[in-house]
Structure 1
Amino acid sequence: MIDFLFNYETLRIIWWALLGVLLMGFAVTDGFDMGVGALLPFVAKTDIERRVAINTVGPVWEGNQVWFILGGGAIFAAWPALYAVSFSGFYLAMFLVLFALILRPVGFKYRSKREDPRWRSNWDWALFIGGAVPALIFGVAVGNALRGVPFHFSTDLRPFYEGTLFGLLNPVALYCGLVSLTMLVMHGAAWLTFKAEGPVADRARIIGGKAALAAAVLFAGGGVLVWLGLLGGYEVTSAIVWDGPSNPLGKTVIANSSAWLRNFNATPVLCLVPALGIVAPLVAAAGFRTRREGLTFLASKLGVLCIIATVGLAMFPIILPSSSNPGHSLAVFDASSSRATLRNMLIATVIFLPLILAYTAWVYSVLWGKVSERSVRGAGSSAY
């Protein structure tokens, strides 16, 4: 059993799955933080209402960002070629995301330092940018991954990116960005109805219902785009050597408009994942309407998980396709670190990931309960 677990093929698949788990963990946890930020100007009209909304995520947002750091670290250590191409090719987009994410902790820390309404309003808009911009750009990045990114490798495996920032902002990628934005707005609204009381929760309930319907419709529309071949697709046509050395130049890949449907056609049970990506937001929309807060949040969480999982399942075994030279696309079987690196990282993950999960569960249990205007006033300056 140990030999099977630590063979190169198994380790590569495990780390592909773990990368997906980390990205989904980030979307489910930090996703509702971003959703709350994006909703802040619309669900809270007074200073005390904005403080209620902010205090639903204020104690947990730092811990939620652990998933973002873990995801970046996993890409760097387990998939170095992916890290090199994506972080250099998407450099300006990543810089924009990081700038927005930096505004968020600064906004949390400085907003309450002064009672001046203009001061607080400026930081509230910073929190809005810190939530809405990453939610949109992350979806744009996924859209570009589905279309293919213009890059290639030299003979000594140096990556060369041939695109521009405005090239990333193409219609298909922006459409995927809207899917991401509506999905996380839905998730943020579900969190607010679960954690907040009063007008903030009431407004979040209305907006969340509309966002959930929009997320379901847009995601279903994305499926139609894939079915029509408008989202592209790439297929490995050469023999796959799962336990061979990592060299993205040693395979043949072709553009195939039906490639992203191939895994679902081969294994029909996988169709349950995109189906739940549509059904779960619809259930969340019904939960918003019927005021079933727990069901709404669980359905929203399931919708986020399934929408993201659909992308990974559709693209497997490709991780990042190249539109300019498809044969240089990065795949699970030729873009990973060495077997020893993946093995040692897996041992560390088995030890530390349960500790992170246990600590996270403990924090949420301690902070269980709703945030109300009365509780915020009673906390005084200790609240955000």
Structure 2
Amino acid sequence: MFDYSTLKIIWWLLIGVLLIGFAIMDGHDMGVGTLLPFVGRSDLERRVVINTVGPHWDGNQVWFITGGGAIFAAWPLVYATAFSGFYWAMLVVLWALFFRPVGFDYRSKIHNATWRSTWDWGLFVGGAVPPLIFGVAFGNLLQGVPFQFDVYLVSTYTGSFWQLLNPFALLTGVVSSTMITMQGGSYLAHRTEGVIQARAIKGAIGAAVVMVLAFVAAGFWLQAIDGYRITSVINPSGLPDPLAKTVVREAGAWMANYGHQPLMWALPALGVLGAAMAALLLAMRKTLSAFVASSLAVLGVIGTAGASMFPFIMPSSSMPSASLTVWDSVSSHMTLGIMFWVTMVFMPLIVIYTSWAYSVMRGKVTAAYIEEHDHAAY
């Protein structure tokens, strides 16, 4: 069995893997939904777009559900504090996600132009809103969230929904939204042909360019934002107690980890170069390689956020000492240990099943296929 401090680091890494897996796998079908009204000009073209992700979008939700469950079990204080503080933002995400199952299953059941157009825009909302909100949430985490604990560790959130929509958070929302659109466009380009593929490539390249510009701008802006630094002694193997430390805020604190570990610069470099390579490969019609490059860009962007904040998970702007970190917001040693071995069993199964499903559904989705399977296709 691993010692407590090692398990804390392992679960920080595992939750990062789950978030990256969600952004890559569920992200590409959200990106396809975002592009749906724009790359599909006719009903037939939009059905082609929908059928590139229709058979497996719900399977990709496993990453989303598993990530949420892992945060609940491994970081219970983070889960409770985030879901109370970001309550209305989470509801917006939930309401947007409602459009996805209904839209995929019922959109093509009725031969009515208004009905189908309505659900096309519903799928757009379900694909575009969650990445934007998640990006805004990360922007607020980097600035600090206005919450505090009492002596019983009951959290009080003093902010509002509209305060979440500050300029820096909106910029990180643009990074997230364009990143997911790039991912979806790269996948759509690989699964389609002709005019739909051409429009998907154009959309993905445009998203990649905006993502790189917004990501670089956010990086420069981050250097001027007050970050967080622990000034007291930390016992990595100690029992969780988020109030048993001293935290200060200072400009440029989020860049300190890069000074201690220069190799971490590979993460933001991967975010920029991955997106640039995806755009270049799409222009060359090397769509599978472009999807891989786009996925690496996703890894770089999310990895940059996590590495910059480490060991903080959810800093507090109103009570810095109450900030939640890798060391003091976790479950018990036994819980983390049991969860680790369960993950070691089920994570490979998820990867194997997902790989098999995509190998079965590989190939182009064409208008001829939709016309031939009019009653069976989405």
User: Normalising by the residue count of structure 2, what TM-score does the alignment of the two structures yield?
Assistant: 0.99
Shift of 1:304: 0.7
Shift of 1:257: 1.4
Segment of structure 1 superposing worse, 94-103 or 218-227: 218-227
Aligned position for 2:329: 335
Structure 1 residue aligned with 2:216, among 214, 217, 220?
A: 220
Deviation digits for residues 205-251 of structure 1 (CA, Å, limit 9, x no counterpart): 11111111111111111111122x13x31111111110101110000
Shift of 1:196: 1.1
Shift of 1:285: 1.1
Aligned position for 2:180: 184
- Structure 1 ranges of 4+ moved more than 6 A: none
1: distance between equivalents of 2:70 and 2:269? Answer: 29
Aligned position for 2:305: 311
Aligned position for 1:49: 45
1: distance between equivalents of 2:337 and 2:203? Answer: 46
Deviation digits for residues 174-219 of structure 1 (CA, Å, limit 9, x no counterpart): 1100010111111111011011122111101111111111111111
SS at match of 2:347: helix
Shift of 1:135: 1.4
Structure 2 residue aligned with 1:376, among 364, 370, 377?
A: 370
2: distance between equivalents of 1:351 and 1:125? Answer: 39
Aligned position for 1:107: 103
Aligned position for 1:96: 92
Q: Is the 8 A contact 1:111 1:124 kept in 2?
A: yes
SS at match of 2:356: helix
1: distance between equivalents of 2:280 and 2:294? Answer: 11
Q: Is the 8 A contact 2:168 2:218 kept in 1?
A: no
Aligned position for 2:260: 266
Deviation digits for residues 72-115 of structure 1 (CA, Å, limit 9, x no counterpart): 00111000000011011000000000110111111001101101
2: distance between equivalents of 1:44 and 1:218? Answer: 27
Deviation digits for residues 109-134 of structure 1 (CA, Å, limit 9, x no counterpart): 11011011111000001000001111
1: distance between equivalents of 2:26 and 2:320? Answer: 33
Residues 1:275 and 2:275 aligned together: no
2: distance between equivalents of 1:353 and 1:206? Answer: 35
SS at match of 2:362: coil
Structure 2 residue aligned with 1:355, among 331, 337, 349?
A: 349
Which structure 1 residue ranges, 5 or more long, are not aligned?
none
| Superposition pairs of residues 289-328 of structure 1, within 5 angstroms | 289-328=283-322
Q: Is the 8 A contact 1:52 1:371 kept in 2?
A: yes
SS at match of 2:298: helix
Q: Is the 8 A contact 1:198 1:372 kept in 2?
A: no
2: distance between equivalents of 1:287 and 1:351? Answer: 36
SS at match of 2:151: coil
Aligned position for 1:40: 36
SS at match of 2:156: strand
1: distance between equivalents of 2:253 and 2:14? Answer: 23
User: Normalising by the residue count of structure 1, what TM-score does the alignment of the two structures yield?
Assistant: 0.97
| Superposition pairs of residues 130-169 of structure 1, within 5 angstroms | 130-169=126-165
Residues 1:77 and 2:78 aligned together: no
Amino acid at match of 1:9: S
Residue-pair matches, total: 378
Aligned position for 1:123: 119
Amino acid at match of 1:291: R
SS at match of 1:233: strand
Q: Is the 8 A contact 2:8 2:326 kept in 1?
A: yes
Structure 2 residue aligned with 1:19, among 15, 21, 33?
A: 15
Segment of structure 1 superposing worse, 336-345 or 197-206: 197-206
Aligned position for 2:201: 205
2: distance between equivalents of 1:305 and 1:372? Answer: 31
Deviation digits for residues 332-376 of structure 1 (CA, Å, limit 9, x no counterpart): 000000000000111111111111111111101111111111111
Aligned position for 2:227: 233
Amino acid at match of 1:279: L
2: distance between equivalents of 1:348 and 1:209? Answer: 40
* Identical counterparts, % of pairs: 52
Deviation digits for residues 6-44 of structure 1 (CA, Å, limit 9, x no counterpart): 210011000011110000000000101111111111100
Amino acid at match of 1:75: I
Shift of 1:287: 1.3
Amino acid at match of 1:113: K
Amino acid at match of 1:206: K
Which structure 2 residue ranges, 5 or more long, are not aligned?
none
Q: Is the 8 A contact 1:36 1:188 kept in 2?
A: yes
Q: Is the 8 A contact 1:31 1:188 kept in 2?
A: yes
SS at match of 2:373: helix
Structure 1 residue aligned with 2:191, among 192, 195, 201?
A: 195
